[in-house]
Structure 1
Amino acid sequence: MTEPTEPTEPTEPTEPTEPTEPTHGASQPYTYPTPAGAAETVPGEVTLSDDPQPPTSGGRKRTGLLVGGVVTALVLGGAGAFAFQTLSGGGSQPADVLPGDAYAYVRLDIDPSAGQKIAAVRFLGKLPQVKDTLGADDPRKQLWQLASKDASNDCVARFSYDTDIAPWLGDRVGAAIRPGGTADAPNVAIAIQVKDESAAKDTLTKLFACDKGGSDTELRMKDGYAIVTPPGVGDATLAAAAKGTLAQNADFTADMAALGEQGILSAWFDMGTGLKEIQKFSGTTGMDATALASAKGRFATAVRFDADYVEMAGVVRGADATKSVKGDGSEVASLPANTMAAFNVSGADQMLDSAWPQLKKQIESLAAADGESDPIGMVEQQLGIKLPDDLKVLLGRSFTLAMPEQDLKSDVPVLGAKVVSSDAKRADELVGRLMESVGVGGDVLTHKVEGDKVFVATTPDYADDLKSGGKLGDSDTFKVAVGDVSNATATLFVDLDKVDAIVKGDVHGEAKSFLESLRAVGFTATNTGNGEGSFTLRVLGD
């Protein structure tokens, strides 16, 4: 294809640095370096913000955002071609060039560790919609063609992926948000990995020049990455990175180490700084503002593969340890083996102890806006209960909702709940009061007590089934979907094979094939009791 016709003479990016050789192809998966002097158990802090305020560019459609979106799509779209990439998984990461004062970061990588590539191929090969694409041409090319075809500017559509994009586009892209900026013009920096800085600079400059109104995006080159920023903050971004990169931020490195394998997608968020910045953007006031101001801790997550499933895993670190609750999800594992779906919360009574003061203020604040002065007292009087004590009794130390395998043809589906409570008789009494208050009779819900447990169900038979229990936790599907639930504060399990049996007559074509290729969904959250926690959300393939 011939060189794309340029509507205007390309404009050189503002004060670019000289190209340097990018780092690629290390034989081992990349790990973030530990900063000198960083504590192992108590991460330090990096305070580098120069608090720039990028100007608002008005309502013009941004070619820079189009380029960033296209490149992000290109990188993400390469997931189906894992098996045909080199197995290095090494080289530099976007965090190596983005500023260390960032409070939010997201990364996409189609060249992860060799283990991730192998696991991805094995898992994706189970999905009919993906199986045919594993041996196809580079899906990034297909996405480029789709994006350029729909581009409002014909200039963009004249670029060829093979000759203009492929020669320089790398395998990774990352974006970071730094303090400063506004809701309309956030202080963001995008790092696009490039194989040829000179070619990348030339092509990206031409793409930005496609905006006939003038580019509103700045471009810099740094250590094998193209750094794209809003106008007016390019120099400040590189200056901040020179003081310390995100990969040198002790909190970030410790959090990502706790997260483990970062897979094809990872993200990080500093709640202490980030929520305050969001508060500035949104202009939040009142109780919400108080909650945001007191927030602390950090969150890290990754999307990664196993041969049997794809999972989103996450960790929370540095949160308020006084709000920690030790869980126990054993009540889910003891459900009947024919369970189709279940959800459990463990330790809700303890959670209410710490959460109630803030929750009460929120309820009173909302009620005051409607002219009500004592909403809690009104509920207590109407239902004859005491809050939060009776709510703690009702939710108990374990609260489980469950639904057995069924055809869903009856007017009322079969479902039930079991509560392990400090006062089961009182909990049963509260269930009766709630049923009475909403006009539900005993012919709709059955409830009974045994020991410290209350069983509630839409049929007497299912209440008995819940009482008898079972060995759902012994099934391989359950074990793989949710893992160890012995310390779980929240557990969700859905057996998609049982769901498929119900909806198979109503789902057709690709949707039917896709559903049949999935086995289950599982979610587990745990809290270690020291202000740290973790979660996993898994989708299993058949």
Structure 2
Amino acid sequence: MTTPPTFPPADPSGAWQQHAGGAALGQAPVATVGPSRLRTGLVLGGAATAALVLVGGGVFAYSALDGGGAQPEAALPDTAFAYVRVDLDPSATQKVNLLRLANRFPDLAADLDVDLGDDADLRKLVVDAIAKSGTCEIDYATDVEPWIGQRAAIAVLPPVEGATGDAGSAPEPVVALQVNDEGAARAAIESGLGCGDGAKPAQVAFADGYALITSEKVVAADVAAAAKKASLADAPLFAADMKALGDPGLISYWADVEGAIAALEGQEGADELDAAVTQGLRSVAGAARAGADHLEIAIAVGADDKVLAPMEGAGTSLLTGLPDSTLFASSATIDPASVDQLWEQLSTLADAYGSSGLGSLGSGDDLLGDDWTLSSHEVRTAGTLATATEAECAALLALPENALDASDWGLTPEELAEVTRSYDESFMAGCTGDYSALDEGLDAYQSTEEADLFGDDRSTGSATDDLLPSGLGFQETVDELEKTYDLRLPEDLKTLLGEQVVIALDSAGLDDVSSVTGLADVDLGARTIGDKAALEDLLGRIDAILVDAGAEKLTSATTKDGLVVASNEAYAARLAQDGTLGTVGAFRTVVPDAKGAANAAYLDVDALESVARANIDATGGDDSWIAYVEPLRAVGVSSRVVDGHSLTSLRVSFD
């Protein structure tokens, strides 16, 4: 792991102190200014960022790459390992897109108490939000508009070199705020703008049209000098990541993962971060932006080939060949090595939780060996829960807010009476702490001759009809599955998943869910691309197991490159054919990278709205929430690997 350059201590002369062992760049004495903290008045840029994200949540726009002056990264040093940027005044076209999309939501402007007209100033929205929060007495037109620019950013730099103590070794934040009048900007920032103490003169410097605001421990002029010598914009890793990400939009962020771990060494949580980061992960970048009819969150993850290889796509996503009436679908490219790794982790996990492993499923003990029967668990006998008398509990049960309301469940009078009786018994048991009635009912159920879903004979404690004998460890279970049912794991799992798999739910027939009596009445299925012969062999073995158990065979169909399994024969036949979902406009908008996408998902919100309305109209339910879904058209997500990056796009389109 590489260690990023450390940030030097404050030096009023502007000279930098070289790392130990190196020649000094200047001979002026080093001075440290005050304790390490940012005064309230110094966080205008950071507050603007936070306010825009929190108050304007979901409101994004593309920025004009060729307008509005330099981007903030040009004014920040290349030692930064984390960076968040906001464009407060995007180009006119993108700004109109943003505001018009926001206005699709009913009452949004009124709820936020802001102006979302086409000529609204996003900078004013942010400053007004800060003022309304009560933390600052600030007027946009008088205090901010005369000098504020378009963009703001906050970067995090490595700890000050030579600092001691936990507080002194923390990374250093620096705010970059675009300005068009340096004199007015300095006066405003040093005054605090009604937000508390202002900045000291040494904490404010200017570079490339930006005011740089630092903590009291770092002289801002030093940061400006470092940026002039080597800016973040020219840092190879940052530049490659932002190129892969594309348009930075209204909001963008970036982090050098290895640099962050090195900079946070010794800080609370640093070890956990180091352990959580996959070896080979280099960086993460993201942006929020908008088109004429959609909003998008884009993410670019930089990593080495070992990390990215399992994310490579296997040709065009199967989503494109689904029926155009698809309501929801999700596809994934499966790397066999990933299945092996997951299986190994599952084996380790199963063996770590009790000696019974997976073989204990369906038996009296869980993976931890705990006996959770009603009569034996300590909560039932320890008397640690607050209880009341039977009369007090009966009075509580009689209160309207505690009564069960199952009147709209569609139950017969007999069914309603049984459900109400069970509810009343459970309420009284929990209130009084006396579970004897429930335990007796459970014991009576367990003493019947009927077997449970696992085939266990609860009256004798045997499990001779279980799928597998109880008490088996993980590998013993796997071996028994192969011996008894000819299921070979994890090989059969890799065969089933294939090179690519898609799961789909169709909208057909869902406009009257009351007519759905079973899975066959819903069009649900999966399609796999893989070894066709191996898939057919596996399907035959699974069908044999089902037949032996007295169940029906799976509904399936073969394709030229794989297999389809569905809830009914008609839908299986449709999935086996090439559909036209990939030509639907809504799909193409929200899943733009279907060709070569390793993973993708799609939700037809218009179809979902239609299904909801039809069923609500039939049942007389509340449809007020649909007004907030009505502006949406579709939601999609896709990911692919390009030039050393995993690129993910999450899009929401509008009607």
1:423-457 per-residue CA deviation (whole Å, 9 max, x = no partner) reads 21254368669989xx99649x7455556533333
Q: Where does residue 345 of structure 1 map in the other structure? A: 332
Which residue of 591, 603, 606 maps to 1:494?
603
Which residue of 77, 91, 95 maps to 2:69?
91
Q: Where does residue 105 of structure 1 map in the other structure? A: 83
- Cα separation, 2, equivalents of 1:51 and 1:390: 58
Which residue of 115, 129, 132 maps to 1:149?
132
SS in 1 for 2:319: helix
Q: Is the 1:89–1:112 contact (alpha carbons within 8 Å) kept by the matching residues of 2?
A: no
Q: Where does residue 175 of structure 1 map in the other structure? A: 154
Q: Where does residue 133 of structure 1 map in the other structure? A: 116
Deviates more, 1:481-490 or 1:133-142: 133-142
Letter in 2 for 1:395: L
Does residue 542 of structure 2 align to residue 424 of structure 1?
no
1:478-526 per-residue CA deviation (whole Å, 9 max, x = no partner) reads 22221242211111111111011123446755x5344222211122211
Note closer, same or farther for the CA distance 1:355–1:395 as it changes in structure 2 (3 Å cut). closer
- Cα separation, 1, equivalents of 2:258 and 2:60: 38
The runs of 5 or more residues in structure 1 that have no matched partner are 1-44
- Cα separation, 1, equivalents of 2:574 and 2:50: 49
Letter in 1 for 2:497: L
Question: What is the TM-score normalised by the length of structure 2?
Answer: 0.62
SS in 1 for 2:598: strand
- Cα separation, 2, equivalents of 1:515 and 1:216: 49
Q: Where does residue 473 of structure 1 map in the other structure? A: 582
Counting only pairs closer than 5 Å after superposition, residues 239-318 of structure 1 correspond to structure 2 as 240-274=226-260, 281=267, 283=269, 289=274, 292=277, 294-318=279-303
Q: Where does residue 653 of structure 2 map in the other structure? A: 540
Note closer, same or farther for the CA distance 1:199–1:118 as it changes in structure 2 (3 Å cut). same
Taking only aligned residues, the RMSD between alpha carbons, in angstroms, comes to 4.6
SS in 2 for 1:297: strand
Q: Where does residue 9 of structure 1 map in the other structure? A: none
- Cα separation, 2, equivalents of 1:65 and 1:360: 51
SS in 1 for 2:7: coil
Letter in 1 for 2:71: Q
Which residue of 137, 160, 168 maps to 2:139?
160
Deviates more, 1:249-258 or 1:374-383: 374-383
- Cα separation, 2, equivalents of 1:239 and 1:372: 63
Offset at 1:109?
0.8
1:141-183 per-residue CA deviation (whole Å, 9 max, x = no partner) reads 34433432333x5xx2x32222112222222111222334889
- Cα separation, 2, equivalents of 1:433 and 1:185: 63
- Cα separation, 2, equivalents of 1:282 and 1:446: 55
Q: Is the 2:605–2:635 contact (alpha carbons within 8 Å) kept by the matching residues of 1?
A: yes
- Cα separation, 2, equivalents of 1:294 and 1:531: 15
Does residue 7 of structure 2 align to residue 50 of structure 1?
yes
Q: Is the 1:414–1:462 contact (alpha carbons within 8 Å) kept by the matching residues of 2?
A: yes
Which residue of 622, 634, 638 maps to 1:524?
638
SS in 1 for 2:189: helix
SS in 2 for 1:391: helix
Letter in 1 for 2:5: L
Q: Is the 1:113–1:263 contact (alpha carbons within 8 Å) kept by the matching residues of 2?
A: no
Offset at 1:61?
11
SS in 1 for 2:174: strand
Offset at 1:285?
5.8
Letter in 2 for 1:494: L
Offset at 1:246?
0.6
- Cα separation, 1, equivalents of 2:336 and 2:530: 14
Q: Is the 1:89–1:114 contact (alpha carbons within 8 Å) kept by the matching residues of 2?
A: no
SS in 1 for 2:629: helix
1:209-256 per-residue CA deviation (whole Å, 9 max, x = no partner) reads 8547x9899842222323233442345644543441111212222332
Note closer, same or farther for the CA distance 1:73–1:179 as it changes in structure 2 (3 Å cut). closer
SS in 2 for 1:516: coil
Offset at 1:401?
0.9
1:100-126 per-residue CA deviation (whole Å, 9 max, x = no partner) reads 122222211133456644654665565
- Cα separation, 1, equivalents of 2:259 and 2:545: 42
Which residue of 326, 332, 356 maps to 2:313?
326
Deviates more, 1:194-203 or 1:137-146: 137-146
Note closer, same or farther for the CA distance 1:339–1:501 as it changes in structure 2 (3 Å cut). same
- Cα separation, 2, equivalents of 1:248 and 1:449: 54
SS in 2 for 1:470: coil
- Cα separation, 2, equivalents of 1:442 and 1:487: 37
Identity in percent: 31
- Cα separation, 2, equivalents of 1:46 and 1:193: 30
Does residue 319 of structure 2 align to residue 335 of structure 1?
no
Offset at 1:81?
11
- Cα separation, 2, equivalents of 1:398 and 1:250: 35
SS in 2 for 1:102: coil
Deviates more, 1:262-271 or 1:137-146: 137-146
Note closer, same or farther for the CA distance 1:377–1:538 as it changes in structure 2 (3 Å cut). same
Does residue 626 of structure 2 align to residue 512 of structure 1?
yes
Q: Where does residue 191 of structure 2 map in the other structure? A: 206
- Cα separation, 1, equivalents of 2:91 and 2:204: 28
1:340-365 per-residue CA deviation (whole Å, 9 max, x = no partner) reads 1111002x0xx2316744x4665566
Larger radius of gyration: 2
Note closer, same or farther for the CA distance 1:379–1:323 as it changes in structure 2 (3 Å cut). farther
1:303-329 per-residue CA deviation (whole Å, 9 max, x = no partner) reads 222223222234344532574223223
Deviates more, 1:467-476 or 1:395-404: 467-476
Q: Is the 2:61–2:289 contact (alpha carbons within 8 Å) kept by the matching residues of 1?
A: no
- Cα separation, 2, equivalents of 1:142 and 1:290: 41
Letter in 2 for 1:333: T
Structure with more strand by fraction? 1
Letter in 2 for 1:202: A
Deviates more, 1:127-136 or 1:484-493: 127-136
The runs of 5 or more residues in structure 2 that have no matched partner are 11-31, 110-114, 161-165, 358-472
1:255-274 per-residue CA deviation (whole Å, 9 max, x = no partner) reads 32333322212222323333
SS in 2 for 1:487: coil
Note closer, same or farther for the CA distance 1:70–1:441 as it changes in structure 2 (3 Å cut). farther
- Cα separation, 1, equivalents of 2:354 and 2:271: 19
Q: Is the 2:205–2:211 contact (alpha carbons within 8 Å) kept by the matching residues of 1?
A: yes
